[in-house]
Structures are given as structure tokens and as C-alpha cells.
Amino acid sequence: MTRFAIAMLVSALLTLFAEQASAEGRRVALVVGVGAYQSVPKLPNAVNDANAMAELFRASGFEVVTARNDVSNLEFKRAIREFEDAANESDIAVVYYAGHGIEIRETNYLIPTDAKLINERDAEDEAISLDRILNALEPAKRLRLVILDACRDNPFAGKMKRRVATRAITAGLGKVEPQQTDTLIAYAAKAQAVANDGEGAHSPFTTALLANLAVPGLDIRLAFGRVRDDVLKATNRQQEPFVYGSLGGGTVALVPARVQTAALTPMANTRTAEDLAKSDYEIVERVGTKAAWEVYLNTHKAGLYADLARVQIAKFASVAPEGVTRVAARTEPGFPSEGGTQVSPRTDVPAVLPAPKPTAAEIRAWDKLKTSTDAAAIRKFIDTHASSPLIPEAQDRLATVERLAREKEERVRQERDVARLREEDERQKKAAEAERKLLEKEAARQREEAEKAKAAEAARQKAEAQAAARQREAEERARAAEAAARKREEEETARLAEMARRRKEAEERAAALAAERAKIEAEIAVRKREAEEAARAAAVAKAAREAEEKARQQALKDQQRQDAETATAAAAAAAASAAREAAERERVKAAETAARQKEAEDRRKAAEAERAKAEAAVSAEDKAAAEAAKVAEAERRKAKAAAEAERRKAEAAAEAAAEQKAERAAAARRREAAEERRREAEEAAAANRRKAETAARRAAERQAEQAAALPTSAAAPRPPPRNRPAPAPPRPPGRGPPRRRGCAPRPAPPRPAPAAAAVVAVVRR
């Protein structure tokens, strides 16, 4: 026979258990864990709790287990709608929720990841009401169960706005009385209490649920009673779970009495060869036939459980008259027996003759050895009396002695392991303390760097502000210089236009003066001609006067002729008088012409002086404009140089700020690395502590199993088992107080007693 045969047996047993579970009714479950909230701090254990509960329901034979984690509002509602279809025609329907809950206006709400809850009206749209969950469970026939592991110190309650100032918004779920029959609602903590999130992988409430909820045949009310006791014990009576609703008088078990569930322990996935041998032994023990024991021995040929299997085969030597074999029932905490003794079905084992009785010498020799712990002496008895009927008992005693010796060696080894783990824990504690001091120094250095960076940042901001102010001032000066330059340009343009206008006016005046001079010169020429004519007239007059003198003389001479020529002489005198008057007029006219010429010459000279003065003014203004342009250009260059210097200073300040930012990022990375090293040290210390506790628990389990498996014939006193648990290593430094979902620190749970770590049946899948 090979291990394949045992696998077939296991498959047959699982099929049998599945058929029994189907006969008990259809069971469905919806599991929701919400921890990655977007508007409030995350819950570290909600998703872990939900995954563990989903695994528990699957291992308990639930037909449908719907698991959803970190769901949004729409995903939550869609999961409920899908679960409503699964709950139709079901006998037991369960909803488990881990996350935040809140009560508004006497209505309880479960909060998805994308809820913001700015005011109380948002809850109807952004959250899921508990009544919606209860309506989804309504089709179940025997049991409707809602389990809420919701933290009551809810961060949403403090920030929500209320429409009515006197209306209360509680921090968690409020008291509820379900209207449906056969309905229970289990809270992790009753009203006005705080539910802890837990220090380990699960909250205290979920840890108690995993240990008690799936006990086969256990009434659900008793199961929650055990959950309450475990949580009170784990939290030093600070958290008390509470259940609302009621059931009838019959027994309502979440898991049928004949369905075994897999043990959900942290070591379930790391089983050794000894664990496999133990698991196979328990499966074959439930079958209880000789053929099954032979299959086991063909697979596991050595070891404690192989010796126990041989003892079980030896018991088949005595067969009851009815042809049935009775096997002692296994009493296990949390797995109550229904009939005391398990009766295997009729087998085709042939009847055998009664065994011969031992001789008196064999009895005397065995009486000396049956309480002995000398394995060599017992082996010598077996070799000497190989055909004695006492050989099975001797072999049983030998197996017991060898087992006790192995247990002693195992205890010594475990003590050495515990001491080694304790030393390792101490070393890790010292390393963690050194790491903590290093982290403190690093934190102090980082704080100093942060302060320096802050001061540098302030200096940079101040420098940037000063640079910006100087740049603004330079820009304002540049703008003022540009405005002044534009104003000077405008003034220069106006001045040039005025000068052009004046030059044009001067040219016009010069042209007018030239025209006037030409006119005057023409007048002078006319008057000169007139003067020449007057001179000629004067010459004629002179000639006339000379002629008159000659005539007077001639008259004197020719006095006789004067009388004759009196009329002619009078006419000549009148002509001479007229010539004199004409000459006088010519002389006056010539004087006036000379005066006008002098006046025109004076005006010409004044116009030339005015033109020279205007040209000098224009030249001076041109020179002043050139000087102003040079000054403006110098001011512009100076402003540009100042702006460039300020820009370089700003760039230098920005580079310094970037370097400080890079240094801060490097410091943050160093802090993260130090935090990662601290977490690794804590995890290593926790792993060592769990190893020590697991080693102590395994030792206690093996002692309990081996003590229960000893044959009744060995009535000799046994050494008392060492039930004292190994001391738990101290908590590594830096772990801090227990985490909660936004709540007060959770007290450290007490160490489990060895009796609570008794054997749990494991069905190998």
C-alpha cells in the first residue's frame, strides 16, 4: 500500500463530510473588509481579518463564500445584490464586515473606501445602511447572522457637518433590534465602547471568532459567549462584544456536528513530516479499521505514531462477538463527541482463537519490568519470551519508555531552543536598542538638518524676495529711465519741430528781408536815377544860374535890352526857381532813400544775428539732447547690469534651494531606510517570539496526544507533564502601543495557556 491509498481515504472522508454538510442545509457567506480609506487614515487589519474569516467559512464547508476587499460604494452595493441571489433557498446566511461604521439619526451605516461624508446627508448616498444588509439576508430559513468588526472611535464623526445643531452623530454603530425572526447581529463592542484593531495580524474580536465560531455542533449563542469571554480576557476586560437579536429553543450551529474544519493557525502551511504523520494518524483513527492501520504503517514505517498504529493493530486480536470493533473516542477541546465511543462498521475480520495465557515465570519477570523505565531490560524480556502473550504489553511499555525518553530529549532540545531564541531575542533587543539610539541620533541630525534647511529655505526665500524687490526696483528704474528717455525724445522732437519752425520763420523773414532789400535797392536805384536826374537838373539850374548871371551882366550891359527883353528874363527866372525847387526835392528824396537803405541794412543785420542766434540755440539743444541720450543709455545699461546681477543671484538661490531639497530628500530616504531596518528588527524579534511560543505549544500538544494515546494497561505512574509554557520573550523595543482603527491603544493580549492549545483535528486536503 502506498500513500496514494491514504489520499483516496482522505478523499472519501471529505466526500462523506461534504454529503453530511449538504444534508444539514445550504450555507452561504458574504465577507467584506475595508481598510484603504481615501479620506481618513487606513485600517491595517481590516483586510487581514476579512481574508481569515473567508478562509474559515470555506474550510467549514460553506457552499458560497463571496469575499470583497476595499470596495467602493458601487462595488459594495453590487456585492450585496449578488449575495441576495446566493442567499435564496439558503438555510444559513452570514455577512461579516470589518471596517468603519457610524450611526446617524438612529440609522447604522457601513462606510466604503470612497466615502467623504462632509455632512450628515452624504451618508444616505455614500454609505451602506445596515438595513440594506438585513434585507439581503431575509431569504435565509434557519439563521440570519451579521458580524460587524467595526471600530467605534470613527474619524468621520468629528468632521461631519450637521443640519441641526442638537442632532447627534455617534462615532460608531448604535444599538439595534432586528425586526426579522432568527436573526442575530454581533458587534465587536457594545454601545459607547471602543473596539481594538489589534497588535498582530487580526483584531481580538476576529481572533476569538476564528477560534470559536466554527466548532462543529456548537450552538451559535454559545459560540458568541465563548467569543465574549476570549475578548474580555485578551483586552483585560476593556472590550466586551455584544449580540442583538434572538433565536428559538433549538440548537443552531454554524457548522454541523459531524463536519470537521481545518485548523486556521499561523503554522498551517508549514507542516513537517511529523505533522503529516499526525494528520494521517487522526484520519485513519476516525476510520478505525485494521486495513486502514496497515495502510498507515506501509506509509509511515517509523516514529511515534507508527508505534501507536502497531498498538492499534494489536487490539484487533480481540474481536467482539457481534463482529464490531470499539475504538476509544478522542476528546478534544472545542470538538465535543456525540456518542462517547465510536463504533466502526462490521468488517470481514475472521475470528481467531483465544491467545494462550502467560506462564508464572513470564508473569513474575514482567511484574518486575512493567513499571520499569529501562528500555534495554524490556527489549531483553521481549527477546527472551518472544512467544509470550505479554509481548504486546511489553512492546507497548517499550514504546512508552522510548517515547518518554524521546520526549525528555525533545524537552531538553526545546529548552535549548527557547534559551537560544531568548538569547537571540536579547541580541535583537540590544541591536534594536542600538538601532533606536542610532535612529534617535539620525532623527536629531535630521531635525538639525531640517532646521538648517528651514533656515536656508527662509534665507533663500528672503534672498528671493530681496532679489525680486531689487529686480522690481531695477525694472521700475528702467521703466522710469525709458519713460524719461521717451519724454526727452518727445521734448527733443518738439524742440526740433520748434527749431524747424523757427528756422522756417527765420528763412521766411530772411526771404522777406531779401525781398525788402531788393525792393529798397530798387527804390534806391530809382531814387539814384532821380538824384542823377536832379543833379542833371541842378547842373541845368547851375547852367541857368550862370546863364542868369551872364544875362544879368548882359542886362547890366545891355540895360537897354533888358527892358526889351523883360518878359523873357522873367520867364527864365521862373524856370530857374522851379529848377531850384526840383533840386531841393531831389535832395530830400535822396536823403530819405539813404535813410531807408540804412534801415534795411540794419534789419538785414538783425535778421542775420537772429538767424545765427537760432542756429546757436539749435546747436546747444542738439548737444544737450546728445548728452541726455548718453545719460539715458548709461542708466539703461546700469539697470540692465543690475537686473542681470539680480537674476544671477536668484538663480544661485534657486540652485541652493534645489540642493537643500535634494539633501532633504536624501535625509528622508535615510529615515525610510532606518525605519525599514527597525521594522525588520521588530519582525525578526516577533518571529523569534512566535517560534518560541509555537515550540512550547507543540510540545504541550504532543504531550497531551501521547498521554491520551497510552494504553490503559500501563497503570504505572507517569512523570507529570511539563505544562508550564515557555516564557514569552520580551517585546522588542520600538513596537509601541497596540494599533487601533483610529481608537485608543489596545492592551497587550495575555499569552495563551497550554490547555487552550490542545489538539485540533486537521483534515488534509
Q: Is the dihedral of CA 399, 403, 406, 412 positive or negative?
A: negative
Residue whose C-alpha cell reads 459531524 in the numeric block: 258
| Nearest of 193, 183, 188, 190 to residue 207 by alpha carbon | 188
Give CA–CA dist 281/276, Å, rounded: 8
Per-residue model confidence as pLDDT tens digits over 243-295: 988 887 778 888 887 544 444 433 333 446 777 777 678 777 766 777 667 77
pLDDT of residue 728: 53
- Buried-state track 14-51, b at ≥16 Cβ within 10 A, e below 16: beebeeebeebbbbbbbbbbbbebeebeebebbbbbbb
* DSSP string across 195-258: ----SSSS-HHHHHHHHHTT-TT-BHHHHHHHHHHHHHHHTTTS---EEEEE--SS--BSS-TT
Q: State the DSSP code for 198.
A: -
Phi then psi dihedrals of residue 331, to 5 deg: -100, 115
Give CA–CA dist 674/205, Å, rounded: 33
Per-residue model confidence as pLDDT tens digits over 385-419: 888 888 888 888 888 888 888 888 888 888 888 88
Record the cell numbers describing residue 126, joined without a space. Answer: 455614500
Give CA–CA dist 131/113, Å, rounded: 19
Give CA–CA dist 428/407, Å, rounded: 30
Angle at 498 between CA 496 and CA 500, to 5 degrees: 65
Give CA–CA dist 261/279, Å, rounded: 13
pLDDT of residue 205: 92
Q: What is the largest CA-CA distance in the chain?
A: 243
CB–CB of 581/612 below 8 Å? Answer: no
Q: Which amino acid is at 87?
A: A
Q: Where are the alpha helices (DSSP H) in 354-390?
A: 360-369, 375-384
| Nearest of 157, 30, 168, 166 to residue 90 by alpha carbon | 30
Give CA–CA dist 308/297, Å, rounded: 10
Q: Which amino acid is at 574?
A: A
The overall average pLDDT reported for the chain is 77
pLDDT of residue 580: 79
Pairing of strands 143-151, 183-187: parallel
Fold of the 11-270 domain: Rossmann fold (3.40.50)
Domain positions in the chain: 11-270, 271-354, 437-674
Residues in the chain, pLDDT under 50: 1-4, 10, 13-14, 16-23, 164-168, 259-271, 318-353, 712-717, 740-745, 752-765
Q: State the DSSP code for 245.
A: E
pLDDT of residue 345: 40
Q: State the DSSP code for 751.
A: P
